[in-house]
Chain A
Amino acid sequence: MDEPTRHDQSDLGHLLRDAVADVVPRDHLGEIRQRTRRPAARTRQRWAAAVLGAGVATAAVVGAVALAGKLGLPGVDSDPAGTPGRPDALAAYFVGDTPLGPRLFREFQAVPTSSSGEERALAALRLLEVDAGPDDPDYRTNWTDGSFAAVRVDDDRIRIEVSDSATAVLAGPDARQAAQQAVLTAQAALGDTRPVRLEAAAGPLAVDGLTELGRERRLLAPVSITDPVEGHSVDDRLTVRGTVGPVQVEQEALGAVDWELRADDGSVAESGSVPLDGLAWEETADIAAVPAGSYLLVAVVPTTAGPATDTRTVTVR
């Protein structure tokens, strides 16, 4: 039984306020006045410019622009220097719970476009770090901030250089799962299934005694939703698509994926059953009759341990 702790939810406000209670912000009004003085009201777009200048995957910046548009407020970085190019949608693999235990779910996120596969793979891997992380609140990640330093593709393998702090992740109990997050994400970004080697300063890192890592199909989620993305808004048509785990198809003789659109009160507003095309499934449903509001999209497949699901929050306008 869970024992109440001094950190229960009602304390969180107190804890967070207390955590910064001794932060005494220094006075910067003079600097602000200086920077906004006419006529040379020049601003320092330091972070955005520096980050974009470094060619870094800043999904946050892309999101910020879209977000500002949504609010009807001025954009965050609408200056030419701060405008990112059209983003790529890259797949990142995060951990979620299923009746079979933790499994890897695929989520697409936007990163600035790059013509270099290695840069794209590094950008995708950085989505796995906790400072980026999943959009879906049901997912989590094993990788700490600053884990991934570089990606190189050799004739025989994909080499991922990790920071020294990231080696602790691969020495922990979730090493295989973490390694698979990196393997699947890098391979997806490169469109290449060569084996992956994780390397630290001291040399290649072994996971379960192996330094050349391939895909572990059994760690993939039984069912994963690709579209819509978390928090997506739709009108009168809803396209749902995703994948199923290869193990489920073999073990359960799986032929279809069931999905439901559930209202806040748990009632089912719309549902369907989509036949599999290999490991993929897709359907576009007419939801014109569904009232506006927030819904939970649930995709379900059977497993030996009970039904497995993946979910997305969807807003019907």
Chain B
Amino acid sequence: MTIHATVGHAVLGASPAPWGSAGHVVTEAADLAIEELYVAHWDQLVRLSVLLVHDQGQAEEVVQDAFVELHRRWSRLEDPDRAPAYLRQTVVNRSRSALRHRGVVRRHLARQQRVDVAPAADQPVLADGQRRTVLAALQQLPRRQREVLALRYYLELSEAEIAETLGVSRGAVKSHASRGAAALRRLLADHDSEDV
């Protein structure tokens, strides 16, 4: 990830004081860093969030908010080389919050109208056949299993990186991954047999 090292040096090379004219330098460095990180990670992070929240529009908002938040905190980032890890972590956390928010809206509407809410507007665009099946099966897994599988099999992070991103032990990552993989396989196999 050469790009991140470059980003880091750009910030570390700036004045340590984030105030006055030096503040401009830091802000410009943050602007540059965010743009470079955007080019390198935007698509992948949006897709990661789609795996977690199953809604492209919501995923784009989640990731956009993560970039804005990173920019706001840039001068306080202890190690700019870890900006991609920070973004990943923020996207996972904000995806969780987005799901909770959606639950609130659904509940509110269900109570108002006493009907269940239709699927997200982006859903038909997202996938067909097999893709839709995989995304739907992921949504049936407990959140932690879904997060571990997305980080393990989509981002291909190591156990240690997943543990750090989610703030859980490596043992828990291992357990969530094996339980989640088994559950996902079972759900997909059930779907296959229904198709036959």
- Whole-angstrom CA separation of A250 from B89 in the bound complex: 48
Residues of B within 8 A of A264 (CB): 171
Interface string of A258-292 (1 = CB under 8 A from B): 00000010000000000000000000000000000
A165 on the B face (CB < 8 A): yes
- Whole-angstrom CA separation of A79 from B172 in the bound complex: 30
Across the interface, name the chain A residue whose C-beta is closest to B90. A76
A150 on the B face (CB < 8 A): yes
Interface string of B20-46 (1 = CB under 8 A from A): 000010010011001100100011001
- Whole-angstrom CA separation of A289 from B107 in the bound complex: 51
Q: CB < 8 Å: which of B69, B82, B168 contacts A231?
A: B168
Interface contact B35-A19, CB-CB below 8 Å: no
**Interface size bracket, A side:** 35 or more
Across the interface, name the chain B residue whose C-beta is closest to A12. B153
Chain B interface main SS type: helix
Interface contact B71-A133, CB-CB below 8 Å: no
Beyond A50-B101, A163-B116, whether A73 also contacts B181 by CB under 8 A is no
Interface contact A25-B96, CB-CB below 8 Å: no
Across the interface, name the chain B residue whose C-beta is closest to A130. B142
Residues of A within 8 A of B167 (CB): 63, 66-67, 70-71
Interface contact B68-A19, CB-CB below 8 Å: no
- Whole-angstrom CA separation of A264 from B174 in the bound complex: 12
- Whole-angstrom CA separation of A296 from B183 in the bound complex: 22
Interface contact B65-A46, CB-CB below 8 Å: yes
Interface contact B46-A23, CB-CB below 8 Å: yes
Interface contact B47-A23, CB-CB below 8 Å: yes
Q: Which of A77-133 contact B (CB under 8 A)?
A: 126, 129-133
- Whole-angstrom CA separation of A137 from B162 in the bound complex: 15
Interface contact B142-A17, CB-CB below 8 Å: no
Shortest CB–CB separation between residue B195 and chain A, in angstroms? 12
Interface contact B149-A16, CB-CB below 8 Å: yes
- Whole-angstrom CA separation of A76 from B93 in the bound complex: 8
Beyond A13-B154, A43-B72, whether A137 also contacts B144 by CB under 8 A is yes
- Whole-angstrom CA separation of A70 from B163 in the bound complex: 11
Q: CB < 8 Å: which of B116, B126, B166, B185 contacts A165?
A: B116
Interface contact A130-B141, CB-CB below 8 Å: yes
**Interface size bracket, B side:** 35 or more
Surface stretch bound by B, among A32-40, A205-213, A241-249, A298-306 = A32-40
Interface contact A7-B175, CB-CB below 8 Å: no
A74 on the B face (CB < 8 A): yes
- Whole-angstrom CA separation of A140 from B187 in the bound complex: 14
A153 on the B face (CB < 8 A): no
- Whole-angstrom CA separation of A56 from B102 in the bound complex: 11
A155 on the B face (CB < 8 A): no
Interface string of B170-187 (1 = CB under 8 A from A): 111001101111011100
B14 on the A face (CB < 8 A): no
- Whole-angstrom CA separation of A231 from B144 in the bound complex: 13
List residues of chain A with CB under 8 Å of any chain B CB.
Answer: 5-9, 12-13, 15-23, 25-26, 28-29, 31-33, 35-36, 38, 41, 43-48, 50-51, 54, 56, 58, 60-61, 63-64, 66-68, 70-74, 76, 126, 129-135, 137-138, 140-141, 145-146, 148-150, 161, 163-165, 201, 230-231, 264, 294, 296, 313-315
List residues of chain B with CB under 8 Å of any chain A CB.
Answer: 24, 27, 30-31, 34-35, 38, 42-43, 46-47, 50-51, 56, 59-65, 67-69, 71-73, 76-78, 82, 85-86, 89-90, 93-94, 96-101, 103-104, 106-107, 110-111, 114-117, 126-127, 130-131, 134-135, 138-145, 149-150, 153-154, 156, 164, 166-172, 175-176, 178-181, 183-185, 188-189, 192
Extra pairs beyond A51-B97, A71-B85 (9, CB < 8 Å): A12-B181, A19-B138, A29-B42, A46-B61, A56-B104, A72-B78, A133-B143, A137-B175, A149-B111
